[in-house]
């Protein structure tokens, strides 16, 4: 099981900062500015993907921050349509060219694709690590079954499964399976795309700590050793989302927040093949 030291999760040899900036939907100058400011504020982890169309802007923001490259953990992902070995390699190289980096810290399979053999994709993913294009590799949106399959097929350690995770969704089974395989879990849509903002329970708990509902939500996840990558296009929220390491939720508060999970809690639609449960 991954170990947590300070604000980093250690998993299968990787050290992943517990909070990162999500960048889905951020483009061009706004994206570059948010990345630059986030790093200046203390963020040391940025999440992007080939599919987001913003890797060039992420690279620009990283360079503008003035912080040394090796101090910031950069994740990118290869999209579902590029999971054939040749496409996978091309997509990875294109991502690096856009980022203007020789390697990323973490390369993920963005979504599984049941029409392409997993063996071929995992083989391509491992090749990217062996050739030094990615320091670490992992998966995203993988089910319990797919995690088991991937672990059997891989020749390199898989360090991370990035999944939708927030208090409205019970992800305990997939989290347990990921950790059993030695992978840290990263929560995407960690504040339920902003839905947690007006939540009565989170607001009440926040009031007791002098924190907002979003901060309580993010704290809940990191207190469970889950990496969070909230996205914002507002400078003031960069700071708000980062200030989650100076308070602790009680076990009663943690239990109450877990009780917010409901069967309709999922935001990002899953579907499209037999691999979905
Ligand atoms: N692997 C995958 O398949 C996958 C899927 C989805 C997302 N992701 C990654 O995960 C990241 C985060 O997920 P997400 O963008 O879906 O959702 P999210 O981070 O849960 O929520 C983002 C939304 O919440 C608002 N927000 C941010 N901070 C807030 C705060 N303190 N209080 C209230 N509202 C706040 C933002 O609006 P403002 O901009 O106005 O602040 C935005 O509308 C993505 O950016 C992407 O990097 C990965």
Q: Which residues, 6 or more positions from 131, have their beta carbon under 8 angstroms from its beta carbon? A: none
Per-residue confidence (pLDDT) for residue 271, from 0 to 100? 57
| Rounded distance between C-alpha atoms, residue 188 and residue 268, angstroms | 10
Residue 166 CA: nearest ligand 1 atom is: 20
Question: Model confidence at 273, in pLDDT bands (50, 70, 90)?
Answer: very low
Q: Could you list the beta-strand ranges (E) of the chain.
A: 3-5, 8-11, 14-17, 21-22, 45-47, 73-78, 104-109, 134-140, 158-164, 184-188, 227-228
How many angstroms is it from 152 CA to the middle of ligand 1? 33
Residue 190 CA: nearest ligand 1 atom is: 20
Per-residue confidence (pLDDT) for residue 2, from 0 to 100? 52
Residue nearest to atom 7 of ligand 1 (CA): 188
Per-residue confidence (pLDDT) for residue 202, from 0 to 100? 98
Tell which one of 24, 27, 50, 73 to mutate to probe ligand 1, the residue whose CB is within 8 A of the most ligand atoms. 24
How many CA atoms are closer than 13 Å to the CA of 275, on its beta-carbon side? 20
Which pTM was predicted? 0.96
Q: Which of 90, 169, 166 is nearest to 133 (CA)?
A: 90
Per-residue confidence (pLDDT) for residue 6, from 0 to 100? 55
Residue nearest to atom 22 of ligand 1 (CA): 193
Are 174 and 181 within 8 A, CB to CB? no
Q: Which tens digits make up the pLDDT trace of 24-47?
A: 999 999 999 999 999 999 999 999
How many angstroms is it from 7 CA to the middle of ligand 1? 20
Residue 162 CA: nearest ligand 1 atom is: 1
Give the phi and the psi of residue 136 in degrees, each rounded to 5: -140, 160
How many angstroms is it from 232 CA to the middle of ligand 1? 6
Per-residue confidence (pLDDT) for residue 276, from 0 to 100? 43
Q: Tokens 């009031």 sit at which residue?
A: 207
Q: Which residues pair with 45 in a beta bridge?
A: 73
How many angstroms is it from 123 CA to the middle of ligand 1? 31
Q: Tokens 């449960």 sit at which residue?
A: 277
How many angstroms is it from 97 CA to the middle of ligand 1? 26
| Rounded distance between C-alpha atoms, residue 65 and residue 244, angstroms | 22
**pLDDT(110) > 90:** yes
Q: Which of 188, 237, 226, 166 is nearest to 51 (CA)?
A: 188
Residue nearest to atom 11 of ligand 1 (CA): 22
Tell which one of 106, 194, 266 to mutate to probe ligand 1, the residue whose CB is within 8 A of the most ligand atoms. 194
Ligand 1 contacts (CB < 6 A) are: 22-24, 47, 110, 140-141, 162, 188-194, 197, 214, 229-234, 237, 240-241, 268
Q: Sign of the C-alpha dihedral, residues 153, 157, 161, 162?
A: negative
Are 140 and 108 within 8 A, CB to CB? yes
Q: Higher pLDDT residue, 138 or 271?
A: 138
How many angstroms is it from 131 CA to the middle of ligand 1? 32
CB atoms within 10 A of CB 131: 11
Q: Which tens digits make up the pLDDT trace of 165-217?
A: 999 999 999 999 999 999 999 999 999 999 999 999 999 999 999 999 999 99
As annotated, the active-site residues are 52
Are 109 and 130 within 8 A, CB to CB? no
Residue 194 CA: nearest ligand 1 atom is: 24
10 Å CB burial of residue 31 (0-12, 13-18, 19+) is buried
């Amino acid at each position: 099981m991954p170990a947590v030291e300070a604000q980093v999760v250690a998993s299968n040899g990787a050290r992943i900062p517990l909070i990162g900036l999500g960048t889905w939907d951020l483009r061009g100058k706004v994206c570059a500015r948010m990345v630059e400011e986030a790093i200046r504020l203390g963020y040391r982890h940025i999440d992007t993907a080939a599919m987001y169309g913003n890797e060039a802007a992420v690279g620009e923001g990283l360079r503008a921050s003035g912080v040394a490259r090796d101090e910031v953990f950069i994740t990118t992902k290869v999209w579902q349509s590029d999971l054939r070995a040749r496409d996978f390699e091309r997509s990875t190289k294109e991502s690096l060219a856009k980022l203007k980096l020789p390697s990323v810290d973490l390369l993920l399979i963005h979504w599984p694709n049941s029409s392409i053999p997993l063996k071929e994709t995992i083989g391509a993913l491992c090749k990217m690590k062996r050739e030094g294009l990615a320091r670490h590799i992992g998966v995203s949106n993988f089910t319990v079954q797919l995690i088991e399959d991937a672990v059997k097929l891989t020749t390199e350690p898989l360090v991370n499964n990035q999944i939708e995770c927030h208090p409205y969704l019970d992800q305990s089974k997939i989290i347990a399976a990921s950790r059993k395989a030695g992978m840290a879990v990263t929560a995407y849509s960690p504040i339920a795309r902003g839905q947690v903002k007006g939540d009565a329970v989170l607001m009440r708990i926040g009031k007791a700590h002098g924190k907002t509902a979003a901060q309580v939500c993010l704290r809940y996840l990191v207190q469970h050793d889950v990496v969070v990558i909230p996205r914002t296009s507002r400078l003031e929220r960069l700071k708000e989302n980062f200030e989650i390491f100076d308070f602790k939720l009680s076990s009663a508060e943690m239990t109450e927040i877990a009780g917010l999970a409901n069967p309709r809690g999922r935001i990002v639609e899953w579907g499209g093949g037999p691999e979905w449960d």
